[in-house]
Structure 1
């Protein structure tokens, strides 16, 4: 029982020493900083205001309040506000510690706070703009960059004027403007990160030799004044660079012939070696990107992302060698899994490769390797599938590719020639798993035909053990019994040919979009043959519209009399020690009607005689275009 005259005992939490409390406060403060940095890395809207959530810890007790007030590192995140007294108080608390300054969106606020910031210029570690920071605010902070900033390591200035300027001709003229802050390497000797938009970069050799991260954002500009060779020169004078990113508008129609220097011959590029570069992220017009990428040699590269916009016709066979040159392919031998899909809303393709299983994407993770190549064709002259496979074979030559998925090519294109698929066979002999999913009937028919024909050749697809065919994008009304016969015949021919070569496909998956499993019933004997050739690892699934696909059990496709007949045959085969020539009958024999005893037994037990007439109807020349009869 607790009475009023009993002494009050403080919990042990109140008596924690400063050596323990200070790290606790710093952890809470760093969580805010890490959340901001993560949002910046993934391109999300970030809250750059100083929330100072750690202040709530000072409400625990007087001792905790003292720890918060006496730790300068907790006050280093300074947001410029109109309340100068509050700003001065926070700056006074951060004496002796470097500070991170977050600028205000209004020019008058920055100008009023400039005297306080200039007095602490040697302490400034980072200068960041807020989300609502606009281009007209830049002159109010220029005085800050006229002084020496020996501790400055990070500059993030991204004026955002998209919301203020509608897409009219008058706004385009204003969006062309660039502002010169007077950035100088002599005044910023420790600069490690530079992320800017509509700000003039200092020309070489005045570039920042200690720079680690360079991000140039030109996505709001249709006519940026920065040429590809200018970027190459900046990279050449940044030997310590670890991450390079440049983003431009997809409306920018860059012309390399009009902006290339006179002393650079077409097709020849000055190579700049960047031994520490680990991440490249470029999203620009095709010619602009290729001029930069051709000039970079990065032996330590592990993360590569290139998204290019094609505004003039290009040679599809040259895309891979120009976007992903050999000087950037030092890590492709680490990539074992790739996915090839068309780009949304344009005639193009997207190639994404990682190790398997895919690690967390981070250039600081030495085990993380990542490659992305995206091509948006605005000329509608590129055959997306052919160009994608050609690019993959070019840039991944020599890679131990084990898993490949080709999906979503639904456009009405010409039938790809067999050479399109033969290149995959020749380039990736270690391919173990192949998935052709949700493609048009032309694409799936072309692959199955080429796969069935090449399966008879020794050495074709030598390591392929897992195959998946997904036809969910087909019209469920067009996918009838005739179409399924074409599919199953090609698959069965290929599996039999590979069985003769002792190169079995051990896992096969077929997925179809249809309203019921009735069309599968007519081909249950073929499916049973396919299952037996896959060692039992066979999966056939159907999907009704947008519903999740569900697996169809082969036993559900057979009548009860047929199931009894199969069970009796298996028992007979077991009794005769597996002598299939005398005691057993294969399901293929039942399908073709070559064994009269089985046919009669099927009829006596109530089996479907229509099975044999259906197979005779389907015994015709193989069609290349499913559903076009």
Structure 2
């Protein structure tokens, strides 16, 4: 009996092993994937079984599968530039084109990311009717200083300048857009070319408040409105602008305070015309006394077509010294040299003047009637190196006396109607033993431009 039971158990064990092997082989063939067909990896154990190569395939070369070769696109050299250089190029281009940041940001994803991460690219705000766009640009500028512009002519996206209709209410609304950021203004440029009443009041009412923290970053100021008839005197930025260096004024009366204009190095001043004669001279002398650090000064007394205030009849005797002035420009827009300009130059002392430009805006063919009198009363600084004479300022008979009075002159430039610039280069001899007098040709060695014929006759 026990032997029979033992044989039965052995048969059952053998049958179970056979059944397990069958199931094992079936499952192994089912779970092998196409990518593992060469390695025959069983899911039941971790043993790697390498493929068995049939004997009749040993001498046959294996078929190699053709791979996909990567394709390389040519990369433009501009994409190899460092981000800092590319950003600097965009910023320089935005100084000439207000809409350049918008165009550049639509080129590609990389350039768009660069423009968004360059706050100085969005600092130029040329205010127009698209107020939402300018608000977005102020937001993109973040904490960067701003360059504010308000002009009668604007250049839209198309690139063609168009006239912007401005009245008192429109100007006030435009200034209201940027007035909250006055502490971040780096420059302010307001240019009106056509007359409309109360434009200065609307434009400057928002920046003449009593907040002492205004205009701390302002460096450049331009206010131009030749047709202005508002005689009010404006005090800008509560009289505080410590970083202001460059000012261009035309047609506006301002209060000249040392805390506002005491650090100027450049002044392009066109007299407002509300005063004439000695009173106008007194006004300009007061301005120059405040701006004693000027390096470049441009002056113009224009003609006004409306009544002016009563003038001061007592001549001005105060002299003003500009020790740092090296460049001076005298501009005339009338048939003759204004009395105010001639008398003013007798009161201004410029010991270090290097360049003098005499500009005639009307381009007269004949010299000014009072040209000889002007050079008789105006003593040009002996330190002068460059003299430029244009149109009505030129008289051939005055060239030799002027050159005789300038021992350090290096170059004389003459511009006459319908002719190119005529250049006379002068190489004076050493100072030792030089005596001025007699013929100027005996004292200097000349290199005369080919087009300069008869200038010294």
TM-score by length of 2: 0.61
2:377 matched to which residue of 1? 322
User: Quick one: structure 1 residues 406 and 114, their matched pair in 2 at CA, closer, same or farther if it must change by over 3 Å?
Assistant: closer
What SS does the corresponding residue of 2:270 show, helix, strand or coil? strand
User: Quick one: structure 1 residues 134 and 210, their matched pair in 2 at CA, closer, same or farther if it must change by over 3 Å?
Assistant: farther
The one-character-per-residue Cα deviations of 1:273-310 (angstroms, maximum 9, x if unpaired) are 22221211123544312322222222332221245899
1:181 matched to which residue of 2? 234
Q: Distance in 1 between matches of 2:328 and 2:202?
A: 33
Q: Distance in 2 between matches of 1:292 and 1:57?
A: 50
**Which consecutive unaligned segments of at least 5 residues does structure 1 have?**
33-49, 162-174, 253-257, 335-368, 378-383, 409-422, 439-466, 471-629
In the alignment, does 2:250 pair up with 1:197? yes
User: Quick one: structure 1 residues 103 and 181, their matched pair in 2 at CA, closer, same or farther if it must change by over 3 Å?
Assistant: farther
In the alignment, does 2:389 pair up with 1:372? yes
The one-character-per-residue Cα deviations of 1:68-105 (angstroms, maximum 9, x if unpaired) are 11211000110112222112111111121111111154
Choose the corresponding residue for 2:132, options 66, 69, 85.
85
Q: Distance in 1 between matches of 2:208 and 2:111?
A: 40
Q: Distance in 1 between matches of 2:193 and 2:288?
A: 30
Please report the RMSD computed on the Cα atoms of aligned residues, expressed in angstroms.
4.4
Q: Distance in 1 between matches of 2:186 and 2:221?
A: 9
1:539 matched to which residue of 2? none
Give yes or no for contact 2:241–2:260 (8 Å, CA) kept in 1.
Answer: no
What SS does the corresponding residue of 1:232 show, helix, strand or coil? helix
In the alignment, does 2:91 pair up with 1:26? yes
Give yes or no for contact 1:29–1:54 (8 Å, CA) kept in 2.
Answer: yes
Q: Distance in 1 between matches of 2:275 and 2:71?
A: 76
Give yes or no for contact 1:184–1:206 (8 Å, CA) kept in 2.
Answer: no
Give yes or no for contact 1:145–1:182 (8 Å, CA) kept in 2.
Answer: no
1:228 matched to which residue of 2? 281
Describe how 1:589-600 pairs up with structure 2 within 5 A.
none
What SS does the corresponding residue of 1:150 show, helix, strand or coil? coil
Describe how 1:42-121 pairs up with structure 2 within 5 A.
51-105=98-152, 106=166, 107-121=168-182
User: Quick one: structure 1 residues 25 and 393, their matched pair in 2 at CA, closer, same or farther if it must change by over 3 Å?
Assistant: closer
Choose the corresponding residue for 2:187, options 126, 143, 151.
126
Describe how 1:281-296 pairs up with structure 2 within 5 A.
281-284=329-332, 285-296=337-348
Describe how 1:335-354 pairs up with structure 2 within 5 A.
none
The one-character-per-residue Cα deviations of 1:463-491 (angstroms, maximum 9, x if unpaired) are xxxx9679xxxxxxxxxxxxxxxxxxxxx
Give yes or no for contact 1:319–1:391 (8 Å, CA) kept in 2.
Answer: no
1:140 matched to which residue of 2? 202
1:359 matched to which residue of 2? none
Structure ranking higher in helix proportion: 1
Give yes or no for contact 1:215–1:244 (8 Å, CA) kept in 2.
Answer: yes
Q: Distance in 1 between matches of 2:370 and 2:80?
A: 72
What SS does the corresponding residue of 2:292 show, helix, strand or coil? coil
Note the C-alpha offset of 1:176: 5.1
2:421 matched to which residue of 1? none
The one-character-per-residue Cα deviations of 1:565-616 (angstroms, maximum 9, x if unpaired) are xxxxxxxxxxxxxxxxxxxxxxxxxxxxxxxxxxxxxxxxxxxxxxxxxxxx
Q: Distance in 2 between matches of 1:193 and 1:290?
A: 25
In the alignment, does 2:221 pair up with 1:155? yes
User: Quick one: structure 1 residues 159 and 302, their matched pair in 2 at CA, closer, same or farther if it must change by over 3 Å?
Assistant: same
2:355 matched to which residue of 1? 303
User: Quick one: structure 1 residues 179 and 300, their matched pair in 2 at CA, closer, same or farther if it must change by over 3 Å?
Assistant: same
User: Quick one: structure 1 residues 224 and 260, their matched pair in 2 at CA, closer, same or farther if it must change by over 3 Å?
Assistant: closer
Q: Distance in 2 between matches of 1:69 and 1:16?
A: 18
User: Quick one: structure 1 residues 374 and 330, their matched pair in 2 at CA, closer, same or farther if it must change by over 3 Å?
Assistant: farther
Give yes or no for contact 1:150–1:189 (8 Å, CA) kept in 2.
Answer: yes
Q: How many residues align?
A: 339
Give yes or no for contact 1:138–1:179 (8 Å, CA) kept in 2.
Answer: no
Q: Distance in 2 between matches of 1:16 and 1:311?
A: 56
The one-character-per-residue Cα deviations of 1:469-518 (angstroms, maximum 9, x if unpaired) are 79xxxxxxxxxxxxxxxxxxxxxxxxxxxxxxxxxxxxxxxxxxxxxxxx
Give yes or no for contact 1:403–1:433 (8 Å, CA) kept in 2.
Answer: no
Note the C-alpha offset of 1:115: 3.4
Task: Please say which structure displays the higher CA radius of gyration.
Answer: 2
User: Quick one: structure 1 residues 197 and 178, their matched pair in 2 at CA, closer, same or farther if it must change by over 3 Å?
Assistant: farther
Q: Distance in 1 between matches of 2:416 and 2:368?
A: 26
Give yes or no for contact 1:22–1:67 (8 Å, CA) kept in 2.
Answer: yes
The one-character-per-residue Cα deviations of 1:84-131 (angstroms, maximum 9, x if unpaired) are 211211111112111111115413333223333121111011111246
2:48 matched to which residue of 1? none
User: Quick one: structure 1 residues 228 and 311, their matched pair in 2 at CA, closer, same or farther if it must change by over 3 Å?
Assistant: farther
Give yes or no for contact 1:404–1:433 (8 Å, CA) kept in 2.
Answer: no
Q: Distance in 2 between matches of 1:241 and 1:391?
A: 29
User: Quick one: structure 1 residues 72 and 402, their matched pair in 2 at CA, closer, same or farther if it must change by over 3 Å?
Assistant: closer
TM-score by length of 1: 0.46
Choose the corresponding residue for 2:319, options 271, 285, 289.
271
User: Quick one: structure 1 residues 15 and 394, their matched pair in 2 at CA, closer, same or farther if it must change by over 3 Å?
Assistant: closer
Give yes or no for contact 1:399–1:428 (8 Å, CA) kept in 2.
Answer: no
**Which consecutive unaligned segments of at least 5 residues does structure 2 have?**
1-67, 153-165, 418-435
1:392 matched to which residue of 2? 402
Q: Distance in 2 between matches of 1:8 and 1:51?
A: 37
In the alignment, does 2:75 pair up with 1:11? yes
What SS does the corresponding residue of 2:443 show, helix, strand or coil? coil
